[in-house]
Amino acid sequence: MERRVGVLLLLLAVINCAAADTIVSYFGSGGELVLRPHGIPDRINEIVWKHRGNLLAEWTDGDTHPTYYGVFVKGVVLNPSTGELKISNMDETYTGVYVVQLNLNVQEDHYEATMIKKVPEPEVHPQPLACGPHLDNCALTCEGDITDAGPVIYYWMMEPKGWTKSEKVKNIINDEKTQRVETFSCKIENPISAEKSEPLKNPFFTETTETTNNVTVIAIVSVLVPALVLSVVLYVFRVRIMRFCGRQDSSRSANPANGSSPGKEGENVALRGHTTP
Rounded Cα distance between 90 and 272, Å, is 111
Q: Phi first, then psi: what are they for 20, rounded to 5°?
A: -75, 130
Residues 6+ apart with CB under 8 A from 170: 139, 140, 141, 142, 156, 184, 186
Per-residue pLDDT of the chain (277 residues; tens, 9 = 90+): 445 544 343 444 444 444 568 999 999 999 999 999 998 999 999 999 999 999 999 999 999 999 999 999 999 999 999 999 999 999 999 999 999 999 999 999 999 999 999 999 999 999 999 999 999 999 999 999 999 999 999 999 998 789 999 999 999 999 999 999 999 999 999 999 999 999 999 999 998 744 444 544 454 546 677 777 877 777 777 777 877 666 666 665 555 544 444 444 444 444 344 444 4
CB distance 111 to 50 below 8 Å: no
Sequential DSSP letters for 98-128: EEEEETTEE-S-EEEEEE-PPPPPPEEEEES
Global pTM reads 0.66
